[in-house]
Copies of this chain bind each other. A is one copy, B any other.
Amino acid sequence: MTPFADRLIARTRALGHPLCVGLDPFPERIPALFGPAGSVAAAEAFFAAVIARLAGRVAAVKPQIGLFEPWGAAGVAAVERLCAQAQAAGLLVILDAKRGDIGTTAQGYARACLGPDPAFAADCVTVNPYMGLDTLEPFFAAAEQTAKGVAVLVRTSNPGARDFQDLDAGGAPVWARVAEALQPAMDRLRGLAGFSSLMIVAGATWPQEARTLRALLGQALFLVPGYGAQGGAAGDAVAGFVTGPAGLEGGLVSSSRAILYPPGAHDTAAGWEQAFDSALAAATAELSAAVRSA
């Protein structure tokens, strides 16, 4: 199978933009036409419609399992089906789970998300590095085996990212130490075109940090959350990207609420489709312009 890094770059080059749409259920914002308010059935029907509209228009979707978990096993079952549906629609699936645990448990999480024979049809899973490299190793090993990806939190997009990620650890912040420590795994997961299937999460709200991270890790794919609703601008979101054959490239920029929940009532499927397509077109146009501005 083609390595995750190459599958991702091929898609973003073909589309001309790096947009990834987060699948984040906010039950009170899902239009009533998809089902009973607050139900997991409505969320699933909504995201099935979202996936159908995204097919061929974006490289990837990012289901946020934490927002399905309040429905318990029923929510997790919906995530399973939506992942499979997104892959069948030709979309890459970045399962946003922020997993991390010691050896045997990390193996369990890695098997669930990356396989072989995974519970979730994911191409990549987000993981948390706090517990150390040995807790990330099962994810790296699984990704090597199945040609999938792992996205490690390095510098996140929230205000509290400063609390511990920014602590000065001997002349460099903790997040830079984490980035440095990832280099050997970055090499192991290097794809055919030079990018690694080891992604790093680098928030759109911190463009200076993104440039520093790119200098540290030239072959990293960036997963950039926080574009749109969280306040990151398109130019900042691609600050860590590099010049490729068709403009800036080197990762995905994720937006959720600004696209999923455009303003307005949306009483009919046609009305919702139009509003959704407009929000999607606005985001892809803005990001396309940002990557061409290189």
Which of under 10, 10 to 19, 20 to 34, or 35 or more describes the interface residues of A?
35 or more
Given B112, B119, B128, which contacts A130 in the complex, CB threshold below 8 Å? B128
Number of copies: 2
Contact between chains at A70 and B108 (CB < 8 Å): yes
Residue of B nearest to A130 (CB): B130
A132 nearest in chain B by CB position: B160
Which residues of A from 43 to 80 have beta carbons under 8 Å from B? 64, 66-77, 79-80
Q: Known contacts A24-B104, A72-B112, A163-B133; decide if A98 and B67 are in contact (CB<8 Å).
A: no
Q: A66-B108, A72-B112 are in contact. List 20 more A-B contacts (CB 8 A).
A: A66-B101, A66-B109, A70-B118, A96-B101, A98-B99, A98-B100, A98-B101, A98-B128, A100-B128, A102-B157, A129-B130, A129-B163, A130-B153, A130-B164, A131-B153, A131-B161, A132-B159, A132-B163, A132-B165, A134-B160
28 contacts between A and B (CB under 8 A): A24-B105, A64-B105, A66-B99, A66-B105, A66-B109, A66-B112, A67-B105, A69-B112, A70-B112, A72-B120, A73-B80, A96-B101, A98-B99, A128-B128, A129-B164, A130-B130, A130-B164, A131-B153, A131-B156, A131-B158, A131-B161, A132-B160, A132-B164, A133-B160, A163-B181, A167-B177, A168-B170, A174-B174
Closest 3 CB pairs of A and B: A132-B160, A72-B119, A134-B160
